[in-house]
Amino acid sequence: MSTETSLVFHPLTILNDPPDSMVGRADIESYAAFPEDGVALLKQLQAGMSPQAAEAWYQQQFGESLDLADFIATLRDLQFLQEEGEEVGTMPTLSAFWQWIGRAAFSPPAWLLYGAVMCLCLYLMLHFSYLRPVASNVFFTPYISLLELGLFFGQFPGIFFHESFHVLAGLRLGIPSRLSIGRRFSFVVFETHLNGLWNVPRQKRYLPFLAGMLGDVLWFSLMTILASLTFPSPASDFLRAMAFLTTLRLIWQFYFYLQTDLYYVFTTAFRCVNLQQTTRQLVFNSFYRLVRWKTRIIDEEQWNPRDRQIARWYALFFLGGYFFSTATFLFAGLPITFQFLRLVIVQTFNNAVFTPGFWNSFIFLALNGLQFGLLISLIIKERWQAWGQARERKLSNINDDDRDDDDRDDMEPDQREIKEASLDVFKLAKEG
């Protein structure tokens, strides 16, 4: 592209979010944190200033030279630029009806209703001990296949209730959302993507992040109240089991080193951009220095300064959390799983085909196999996507090297790469 030709941009949003500004393209959910001088340069380019003129303007304004070609490459990587023949992006919008639904879900009458439900639940638990959440509530039936089916399918309404509160909190702010299945370590999880939150002021992000936990508390309260109304009965036993599972989902949110809801509350409060990725790279850098594998060390100057500052101490918690999860999985999860599988396989072969004992074991194996298979498929998908992205970066670097060979003689020796020093542009992870 000629340096005399103005760049054409897709519609972008710019939100002042000290110490940086959040710039994003909402239609594809691509966002990045730009410092003050980066936003100023971006606005000049958006206004129609040619790259050559913008480079001279930047040097005059800030007293520093820069590699504008690298900055433009970053804008292209973020898909902020409209390429030749590409349709202009459109800003996503929500109908007034859905925004009204979101506002109604968190209106004062709604909060009064939520409070009344929680207070009634607390009252019932204080007066009736059988309604309190204990681990034995999980075993609502002596039949292992029915137990497995109930626990497997019975949790989905509660999970949907949790995610729906994230969605409602996003709708309240006019933010579109989408649901997907993801993985945290060895756990399969459902995720609500609300990347549009990067377009709203920081103080307005907390409710969407915490709304899922509010949904869990309400779901627990509803299950407990319904259990009291149906006691004693198998339905009451099942409802108490679902209530206990909900408490486990609440406890799970405190494992925020696995990027749970509270992780995003934490990073928002500490004004981080991509703390998890920075911490992971910091840990790997420390390992590579230890084994003297210098070629694998990532330049830490390209990280967001705030992320780098917090990651120094967050790394201890990050490593401790993963060590705890790994140890629990290896020394508790796997042995218990293998013991269950051994017993079930023995029962399967010791019972005639199509007898109740056979189906009891078969259903148990099928459901556990389904969960394990889903986990493996997610891991393979992640690895395949990572391989594809690495291949694209490699091809991009080869092309950049070819261009550098042609342009190296025209570069001033004191130029600094814009992503590493002049602007420190930091791309956000697209997962919300």
pLDDT of 216-238, one tens digit each? 999 999 999 999 999 899 999 99
Report which residue type is found at 277.
Q
Q: What is the mean pLDDT of the chain?
A: 79
Burial of residue 266 (number of CB atoms within 10 Å: 0-12, 13-18, 19+): middle
Distance of CA 72 to the CA centre of its chain: 28
Position 147 scores a pLDDT of 79
The residue count of the chain comes to 432
Position 100 scores a pLDDT of 92
Report which residue type is found at 65.
S
Q: Which residues contact 48 (CB under 8 A, 6 or more apart)?
A: 6
Q: How confident is the model at residue 412 (pLDDT cuts 50, 70, 90)?
A: very low
* 48: three-class secondary structure by DSSP: coil
What distance in Å separates the CA atoms of residue 396 and residue 407, rounded to the nearest whole number? 16
DSSP 146: H
Position 418 scores a pLDDT of 31
Domain locations in the chain as residue ranges: 13-92+390-427, 97-269
pLDDT digits 0-9 by tens, 386-397: 676 666 655 555
What distance in Å separates the CA atoms of residue 57 and residue 65, rounded to the nearest whole number? 10
Position 227 scores a pLDDT of 95
pLDDT digits 0-9 by tens, 52-103: 888 889 888 888 888 888 888 888 888 889 887 777 777 777 788 888 999 9
Q: Torsion over CA of 55, 57, 58 and 63, rounded to 10 degrees? A: 120
CB 162 within 8 A of CB 223: no
17 — phi, psi (to 5°)? -135, 75
Q: How confident is the model at residue 409 (pLDDT cuts 50, 70, 90)?
A: very low
pLDDT digits 0-9 by tens, 265-279: 998 898 888 888 899
pLDDT digits 0-9 by tens, 13-24: 888 877 788 888
CB 310 within 8 A of CB 270: yes
pLDDT digits 0-9 by tens, 119-131: 999 999 999 999 9
What percent of the chain is predicted at pLDDT more than 70?
A: 75
What distance in Å separates the CA atoms of residue 263 and residue 177, rounded to the nearest whole number? 19
Task: Read off the pTM.
Answer: 0.73
Average pLDDT over residues 349-378: 66
Residue 385: which H helix or E strand, with range?
A: helix 356-407
Position 131 scores a pLDDT of 94
Position 411 scores a pLDDT of 32
What distance in Å separates the CA atoms of residue 188 and residue 181, rounded to the nearest whole number? 7
Report which residue type is found at 103.
R
DSSP secondary structure, 277-329, as one string: HHHHHHHHHHHHHHTT-GGGPPPGGGS-HHHHHHHHHHHHHHHHHHHHHHHHI
CB 21 within 8 A of CB 15: yes
